[in-house]
Amino acid sequence: MKNKQILPVLNIKNPNEIEAESFRLIEEEVPEEIRAKFTRDEWIIARRIIHTTGDISIVNSVIYSDNAIPTGINALKNGCNLFSDSNMIKNGVSVAKLQSMNNSYSRESIRCFIADESVAKYAKKHGITRAIASVEKASNYLNDSIIMIGNAPSALIKVIEKCYNEEIKPKLIIGMPVGFVNVVESKKLLMQTNIPFISIEGRRGGSPLAVATLHALIEIYNLK
């Protein structure tokens, strides 16, 4: 290899050092007047979302309802139920991090029914999306839970409908569906509820961002 100038970059191999350097660069690139709009805890979540996307501009789209962060942290401390609309979320959440808040957590604590055969059959029979059917199947787990939506706006809309009908009252909704159809509308509906939420305005979102948000809540707890 003729060009050896890249080698110093490759010398940063420790994952903690890589993350710390990433966060330093984010702090450097986001103007101070924008960072000043966030509380410390809000900034920790926004910073991790930036880190996950590699996109500084997303900082202007991260929104929180009042008391969303302390409510979510208290729910995790109490070992609340967790629901996700995708297996990417279920498999992406660190169980070790969850257990740092409550040692009762396991991988199976994160309920996700999207791939269940019964959900597929129910969706086909009723002419609805599997995402909606998975929310229906999860109904008994959603009260006092943290709900993570990182894929399907139809799942978020169904959750909101259940909240309006007083069928469920989650502790926190991490509402970050992604795409073009009903995505913006579903988030606007979320912002009109009285349920604590963390979301991303516009079309952007995704399962990795829902996971990053949950991990950031755990990070905040472990800083105290």
- The pLDDT score that the predictor gives to residue 5 is 57
Average pLDDT of 8-36?
84
110-153 pLDDT, tens digit per residue, is 999 999 999 999 999 999 999 999 999 999 999 999 999 999 99
65-114 pLDDT, tens digit per residue, is 999 999 999 999 999 999 999 999 999 999 999 999 999 999 999 999 99
Structure tokens at 170: 């989650």
CB 129 within 8 A of CB 154: yes
Helix locations, the chain, DSSP H = 7-10, 15-29, 32-35, 40-53, 68-77, 87-92, 95-99, 117-126, 130-137, 153-164, 183-191, 207-223
Task: For 131, list phi and psi in degrees, rounded to 5.
Answer: -60, -45
Superfamily of domain 60-223: Cobalamin biosynthesis CobH/CbiC, precorrin-8X methylmutase (3.40.50.10230)
Pick the catalytic residue: 22, 35, 38, 51?
51
Task: For 144, list phi and psi in degrees, rounded to 5.
Answer: 60, 25
CB 112 within 8 A of CB 137: no
Give the C-alpha separation, 48 to 45, whole Å: 5
167-182 pLDDT, tens digit per residue, is 999 999 999 999 999 9
Taking 90 as the threshold, does the pLDDT of residue 219 lie above it? yes
Q: How many residues does the chain have?
A: 224
- The pLDDT score that the predictor gives to residue 14 is 75
CB 174 within 8 A of CB 149: yes
Nearest partner of 197 among 62, 65, 81, judged by Cα: 65
Q: Which residues, listed in sequence order, are joined to residue 200 by a DSSP beta bridge?
A: 62
Is position 51 annotated as part of the catalytic site? yes
Average pLDDT of 10-15?
67
- The pLDDT score that the predictor gives to residue 15 is 75
Domain boundaries, the chain: 60-223
Count CB neighbours of 102 within 10 A. Answer: 14
DSSP state of 114: T
- The pLDDT score that the predictor gives to residue 19 is 86
- The pLDDT score that the predictor gives to residue 1 is 47
∠ CA 31-33-35, rounded to 5° = 70
Average pLDDT, the chain: 93
